[in-house]
Amino acid sequence: MLEKQLFPSGDLESSQGSSLHIDELLSLMVYKGASDLHITVPSPPILRIEGKLVAQQDFPPLRPHDVQAIFEQITNAEQRETFHKQLELDFAYSIPGLARFRVNAMQQRGSMSLAFRLVRFKIPSIYELGLPQVCKELILKPRGLILITGAAGSGKSTTLAAMINHLNQTEERNIITIEDPIEFLFRNDKCVIRQRELGHDTAEFYDALIHALRHDPDVIVIGEMRDLPTIRTAITAAETGHLVLGTLHTIDAAQAVDRIIDTFPAGQQQQIRLQFSQVIEAVLSQVLLTRIGGGRVAAFEIMIATPGIRKLIRSGKTFEIPSNLEHGAAEGKQSMDQALADLVRRNIVTREEAMWKSIDPMKLSEFLK
C-alpha cells in the first residue's frame, strides 16, 4: 500500500524523525481517488472516497500540534495573521505536477481543523463530466444570468469550469472570474481570461464586480453570490449586456429564485422579480451520487427561462416551478426527480441512492413506476 511506502512506521513522523509534510498525505489522497481530506483533532486523517468518509487507520490520531504544523507548512505569515484574527481562512494550495487543492481552515473546540478539496490541473470537458448538452448552448449566450446551484461539495465549481472551458475553446470573449479561492486555472485559448482571488487580488466580491464592469468584460463569473450588493450588481450587469454566471447554495431552481428575491428588502422585491425574470437564462441545480460499480455521477435539475418560467417569477408563483419543469421536456427542462429516475432506469445508480438524494421520494417513486 502506498501509505506503507510513504510512512513505513505508521506514524506521523518520517524516517528522519521530522514532522510529516502535508504533500505526502495529499499525494495519498490523489492516489486513492479521494475528493476531500480532513485533518482534525483527535482523529487520524480522513478521506472522502466516492462520497464516503474513510478514516486512515494506519495513522495515529492527530494532535493539536500536528494540525498546527501542517497549517504552517501551507500558509504564509499574512494568511496566518488573517486566521488568528478571524479564526477561519479559505485559500488554495498547489503541488506542482500533482494537483491544486482548495483549503478551509477553521477553529473547533479550541483547536484547528483543515479540509482539503481536490482540484485537478486538467479541466474536465462537458462530455467527460456527462453534463447536460444544454450547458454548451447556455455558455454561448451573449448576455443574461446563469446560476449553478447545489449543496456544498456537489460539484458546482467543476461544472462552471467545464462550461467556461468550452467557451474558451469556442468563442472569442473577455472573461473575468472572481473566486474565493481560485480553483481551476485557465489558459487563454480563444478567450482572454483574468482570474481574481479574494484576499489576494481583491477585498470583496462586490468591489471586484464593480471594477470588473470597467474592464470591458463579455463574461463575468462570480464564485458565490453571497450578499445583497453582489446580487444587485450581478443583475444590473446582466441587464446591461453581459453574461453573468454565479453559484448559490440551494437545492433546486425554485429555492434559488426565492433566495435571490428574499435577499432584497420587502419593498423592493416586486421590482426585483421583474428585473430577475428578464435577465435569468437558466438555473442548473445538481447533486452527486455514487455510481453502481464505483465513481460519482451528477444529476441535474434544469430550469430554462421560457416565457412561462419568467411569468411565474414575475408573479411570485415560484411554488409552481417544479411542476413546470416536469412538463417541460420539449423545452429542455427537467426536474431533479426526473433526472434521478433516468439514472436509475439506465442502471447508473441504485434506486436506494436516488431516493437518498431525492427532495420528494414519493414523486420519484411515481416517475420510476
Residue linked to cell 494568511: 79
Question: β-strands 174-179, 296-304: how paired?
Answer: unpaired
What integer is the mean pLDDT of 144-166? 95
Q: Which of the four pLDDT bands, split at 50, 70 and 90, describes residue 80?
A: very high
pLDDT of 226 reads 87
Q: What is the pLDDT of residues 235-291, one digit of tens each?
A: 999 999 999 999 999 999 999 999 999 999 999 999 999 999 999 999 999 999 999
Alpha helices in the chain (DSSP H): 2-6, 22-31, 64-74, 77-86, 126-129, 134-139, 156-170, 205-212, 228-239, 253-262, 269-279, 307-314, 321-326, 336-345, 351-357, 361-368
- Given a cut of 90, whether residue 200 has pLDDT beyond it is no
- Given a cut of 70, whether residue 5 has pLDDT beyond it is no
Residue range(s) in the chain whose domain bears CATH number 3.30.450.90: 2-119
Q: Are 225 and 234 in contact (CB under 8 A)?
A: yes
Residue range(s) in the chain whose domain bears CATH number 3.40.50.300: 126-368
Round to whole Å and give the CA distance between 342 and 307.
26
Q: Can you give the pTM of this predicted structure?
A: 0.86
Q: Are 44 and 59 in contact (CB under 8 A)?
A: yes
H, E, C per residue of 69-132:
HHHHHHCCHHHHHHHHHHCEEEEEEEECCCEEEEEEEEEECCEEEEEEEEECCCCCCHHHHCCC
What integer is the mean pLDDT of 326-336? 94
Q: Which of the four pLDDT bands, split at 50, 70 and 90, describes residue 19?
A: low
pLDDT of 345 reads 97
Architecture of the domain defined by 2-119: 2-Layer Sandwich (3.30)
Q: Among 3.40.50.300, 3.30.70.3460, 1.20.140.10, 3.90.1560.10, what is the CATH number of 126-368?
A: 3.40.50.300
Q: Are 16 and 27 in contact (CB under 8 A)?
A: no
Q: Percent of the chain, pLDDT > 70?
A: 95
Cβ atoms within 10 Å, residue 233: 22
pLDDT of 230 reads 93
Angle at which helix 269-279 crosses helix 253-262, to 10 degrees, equals 130
What integer is the mean pLDDT of 161-175? 97
pLDDT of 16 reads 35
